Chains A and B, each alone.
Chain A
Amino acid sequence: MYGKLKKKILYAPLFTSMLLMSGGAAQSQETAVDFKNKIIELEQRISGLESLKQELQELKKNLLQKEEKVLAKEETLVSEIKSIKSLRKSLSVRESKPRGKWHLAGYADVGFEAISGDNNDSFVAGKFNPMFHFQYEDWLLFEGELQIVTNEAGETTIDVEFSQLDFMLHDNITLVVGKYLSPIGQFQERLHPSWINRSMNAPTGFGHGGVQPANEVGVMLRGGVTLTDEVTFRYSLSAGNGPRFGHDDDELELEGIGADNDSSKALGGRLALVHKSSLELGFSYLDSGVNSKAGLLPDGDMALARKGDYRLWGADMAYTKGSWDIRAEYLNAKNSPSGGTVAGGFEEVNWEAWYAQMAYRLSGMLDNPALGKLEPVIRYGEFRTNVGDELQLSAEKRWNIGINYWLSSSIVVKTGIERRNYILVNRADETRYKVQMAYGF
Chain B
Amino acid sequence: MKNTNYIMIASLIISVFAGTAAQAAESVKKDPMQIVRGAKSWAQSCGSCHNIRPPKDLTDEEWEVSALHMRVRANIPGNVIRDIIAFLQASNNEKVKE
Interface residues of A (CB under 8 A from B): 101-103, 105, 133-135, 137-141, 143, 166-177, 189-191, 195-196, 219, 222-226, 232, 234-236, 272, 274, 276, 278, 280, 318, 320, 406, 409-410, 440
Contact = CB atoms under 8 A, between A and B. Distances in A.
A174 B72 contact: yes
B13 A169 contact: yes
B39 interface: no
Contacts, number: 120
B13 A171 contact: no
Contacts of B74: 190, 224, 234
Interface size class of B (residues with CB under 8 A): 35 or more
A219 B74 CA distance: 17
A135 B72 CA distance: 12
Count chain B CB atoms within 10 A of each CB in A140, A141, A167, A278 and give the residue with the most: A167
A234 B75 contact: yes
A226 B10 CA distance: 26
Contacts of A140: 18
A234 B72 CA distance: 11
A173 B24 CA distance: 14
Contacts of A176: 72
B75 A103 contact: no
A167 B61 CA distance: 19
B36 interface: no
Interface of B: 10, 13-14, 17-18, 20-22, 24-25, 44, 47-54, 57-58, 61-62, 64-66, 68-69, 71-80
A143 B14 contact: no
A134 B69 CA distance: 9
A29 to B, nearest CB: 99
Which DSSP category, helix, strand, loop or mixed, fits chain A's interface? strand
B51 A409 contact: yes
Given A133-B65, A133-B69, A225-B77, A191 B49 contact: yes
Nearest to A277: B44
A298 to B, nearest CB: 27
A171 B78 contact: yes
Given A139-B25, A166-B68, 17 more contacts: A102-B65, A103-B65, A137-B25, A138-B21, A139-B21, A139-B22, A143-B69, A171-B77, A175-B13, A190-B74, A222-B72, A234-B75, A272-B75, A278-B47, A406-B51, A409-B51, A410-B51
Given A274-B48, A320-B48, A224 B22 contact: no
Contacts of A135: 64-65, 68
Contacts of A278: 44, 47-48
Contact of B66 (A105, A236, A274): A105
Given A196-B50, A274-B48, A169 B77 contact: no
A169 B10 contact: no
